[in-house]
Each structure stands twice: as structure tokens, then as C-alpha cells.
Amino acid sequence: MRLAPASLMGRTALVLVLAVAVALGIALALFVGNRGEALSALRGRYAAERIATLVNLLEDTDPEGRRHVVRRLDTPGLRAGWGIRPLVPVPDPEPGLPGVIARKLAKELNGREVRVILAPLPPPLPAGPPPGAPGGMAERHGHGFGSGGFGLGPFVGGPALQVSVRLADDSWLNVYAPFEHTDSLWQPRFVGPLLAALVVIIVAALWAVRRATRPLAALAAAAERLGMDVNTPPLAERGPREVRAAAQAFNVMQDRIRRFVDDRTQMLAAISHDLRTPITRMKLRAEFVDDDEQRAKMLADLDQMEHMIAATLAFARDDAAREDRRPVDVAKLVQDMAEDLGGSYDGPDTLVAGVRPVALKRAVANVIENALKYGGAARVGLRRTDGHVHVVVDDDGPGIAPEDRERVFAPFVRLETSRNRDTGGTGLGLAVARAAIRAHGGDITLDNRPEGGLRVTLAFPVG
């Protein structure tokens, strides 16, 4: 699995290509095997027809002229001899092709004794006249392939169809049909079209897999967009039935999430509106308190309540996700924010990226203010790496314990060791900053620096 492609398209294409290659290999193996059997059977039938013709010709020729007939009909593809001894010593034919040829010859030759084997030809036997044999009949003493006539050359010892047929005068016609090697199957005229067909099949498979997996990539991209903006356009419902069903379910889920967010925002807006009226009345009543100290405390508490309600409403509205992206000089934006709030800047003079400027300003401002308020300093750095913009803010504070680095991003959470209500914080600064950066497709990380202090890194794609 470690060698398999990581993508679904790559794995599916690999399976299809391997399946095609295996099927093609099996088909080639079957074709090669059947081709060999077919060629052997064709050669055997051809040899049987020639042998039957030769037997009939010899039967019609007197013994003195048979040697000359055999010499004239002998060819490299069918070596013939005539003698008193059979070339094939065993009377029973072998199974398979020899048996088929023996039965065919016996049928065509009216039941004459036929012996057929498939084996290498043994070395020739010396021929010599037996007592009382007429002159010029040397071939009658051997199997007809002696040194006196039909030199076998390279065929001796090679695979051959060996046939011996008993003639009417009890002499034997011996035939040796060598099975020469056929041309190799792997010739350009065969391999070329085969490779071309394989390439066409692979290309078609890749095209089909890519077309089939494209809706899944679109679904993943839509899910990524939904994570940054619930108001993103719905996914197109097209493609195969299963893909259309998945796209429809995704669009229904997106619509439910959008309605849930809208309902929550409307509820918080209504609560905010309803709370502002009694807060305003309480402020008016506080003005009539004679004790100046108590009046000031009451008004401060009411101002803080009003500020918390406004911050909560802004956080619930999620303005970062509603703002459109546009090209902005992020370097100038971050530098201006650092200098306006009392921090320092170290980075390029220009860095243009597609961002939501209001949301990015809010995120950077919240982080810088936290650094100045709880860390005593804010050194802001900016760099671009691997298609991402990194805004780094260092302070000189006590840092944050590892177990609290995720908890501080929760709404209304403040670490008591470093924050109190006198600072005026609502516990929404980092939550708002993370929501804004995640709306850009990035995230915020917290790390304690070895030399002391906290480092906050805002990373998001260039866009």
C-alpha cells in the first residue's frame, strides 16, 4: 500500500490498468498455446495427406522403381525412405496428434498397418544387401534413411512426426516429417498493434476514471469552501446518480447550516436589542444616584455590559466570512496596524495577497493588543512561505501553558493568571481572530519562545 498512489483516481487507474494487463496476458497465453496446437494439427494433417498419396503411388510402382520415386518425392519438409524395416518400432500409436494421424491414415489406406510416433529420429542404421536380395535395393535393408541416399543433416535428433506404413509386399514406407520451428509470435507486425491497443485502452481507462472522480474533487472543494463561508454557492447537482445524490445531500446540509447560523444571529441580535433598552434605563437611573463613587461604578458596569453585548453580536454575525476577498497590500496593512497600536514591524515593504481586509485587520489588531496588554511588547513579523502568508507576533509575557493553548480560543475564556476584568477584555479576542483567519483558509498557532514570551502565528494562503 505504501507504493500505491495516494489519490483515488491513481488507485482506480492502477487497478484498471493491472486488470487489463492481466487479462491481456491470459489471452496471449491462451492464444499462443492454441496457435501451437493448431499449427501442429495442420502440419500433421498435411503430412498424412502426402503420406497417403505416397503409399498409393508406391503400390502402383514396381519394386525396382520405388527407390527412384521415393528420391523424387523426398523434400526437406517430408523425408521419405523405403525398406524392409519399419522406422517406428512400436505398433501402438501415442495419444494425441500421433493417434489422430494413425487413425486417419488407416482409414484412408483401407486398414493397412500404420505406426506413428512423435519423437527425435535415431541415428541411421547401416544398410547392406541380405542374402538373395536383388541389386540396387540397398534401401530395403534399413529404414530408408541410411548414408546411401537421404542425408538428414540438422534434422537428426530434432522433434519429428515418424510414420511407418506396411505396404502390400510387407515392405515399409518410412516417413520423417520434422517439426521445424515456426516464426516467433513477437514480430513487429503483431507486437505493434498489440501495444497500440494497450495504449488506447490505458488512455481510455484514465480518461474514464478522471471523469468519474472529478465530482468527488468538486465535492471536496465545496466542503473546503463551506468550512470558510457558509454562504458559498451550492454544489452543482450533475453526474451519475450516486454523485447527484451526494451533491444534493451536501446542498441540503449547507442550507441547514446557513439557516442555523442565521437563526442564531437573529436571536442574538434580538437579545442585544432587548438588553440595550433596560441598560439605557439603568444608566438614566444611575445618573440620579447621589453617591458619585457608586454612580461611577454602576455606569462602568453598564458600559462593560454594553461592550460585551456588542462584541458577542459581532462574533455571532461572523462578518469575516461574509466579506469578499480582494487584492490587498498585506505588508502595508500589518505595518500600519503595528505602528498605530504601539508595536514594531519587521518584514517586506510590499506583499499583495487576496484577503478580506476588515476581517484581517480585526484579527491582527486583536493579537497585537493582547501582546501589548499581557506581554508588554508586540514585535510583528511578516513573511511569505510556500504560498502562505505568515504574520508572527512576539511578546515578552509569561507565555501560555501547553494545556491552555487551545482553551484560550474558546469564547469568553480568559486565563486568570494573566487577565482580569480591569483590562476590559471580554474573552473574545482570540476567538474572533481565529474565526477571521480560518475564514481565509488558515489558522492561528501559539508557541512559547525559548527565550521567553509567547509567539502567535497567523498563517493563511495567499489566495
Q: Is residue 228 part of a domain?
A: no
**Cα–Cα distance between 138 and 166 in angstroms, integer?**
18
- Distance from first CA to last CA of the chain, Å, rounded? 34
- Who contacts 450 (Cβ-Cβ below 8 Å, separation ≥6)? none
Q: What is the pLDDT of residue 110?
A: 81
Could you tell me which residues are beta bridge partners of residue 83?
172
Quick check: is 285 in a domain? no
Three-state DSSP at 59 gives: helix
Residue labelled with grid coordinates 505398433: 91
Contacts of 125 (CB under 8 A, 6+ apart): 85, 142, 143, 146
What pLDDT score was predicted for residue 137?
34
Cα–Cα dist 179/331, whole Å:
85
Where a domain ends, among 163, 178, 193? 178
Question: How far is Cα 87 from Cα 144, in angstroms, rounded to an integer?
Answer: 8
For residue 317, what pLDDT is reported?
Answer: 63
Which residue type does 90 have? V
pLDDT on residue 180: 60
Q: Which residues of 423-451 are buried (b: 16+ CB within 10 A; e: fewer)?
A: eebbbbbbbbbbbbbbbbbbebebebeee
Task: Give the total number of structural domains in the chain.
Answer: 2
Q: Which residues of the chain have pLDDT under 70?
A: 1-6, 8, 36-37, 39-40, 77, 91-94, 121-159, 179-186, 228-229, 314-322, 415-426
CA atoms of 382 and 353, how far apart (whole Å) = 13
Instruction: Tell whether 197 is covered by a domain.
Output: no
Q: How far is CA 388 from CA 167, 280, 349, 457, 459, in A?
A: 97, 46, 17, 12, 6
The predicted structure's pLDDT at residue 214: 79
pLDDT at position 348 is: 93
pLDDT at 34: 74
Q: What angle do CA 143, 115, 68 make, to 5 degrees?
A: 40
Domain of 168 in residue numbering reads as 12-126+133-178
CA distance 267 to 323: 21
CATH number at residue 383: 3.30.565.10
| Residue 297 in domain | no
Q: Is residue 382 part of a domain?
A: yes
Residue 281: Cβ-neighbour burial (10 angstroms; 0-12, 13-18, 19+): exposed
Answer whether residue 344 is part of any domain: yes
CA distances from 426 to 302, 321, 384, 413, 416 (A): 14, 21, 32, 8, 13
Is 209 inside any structural domain? no
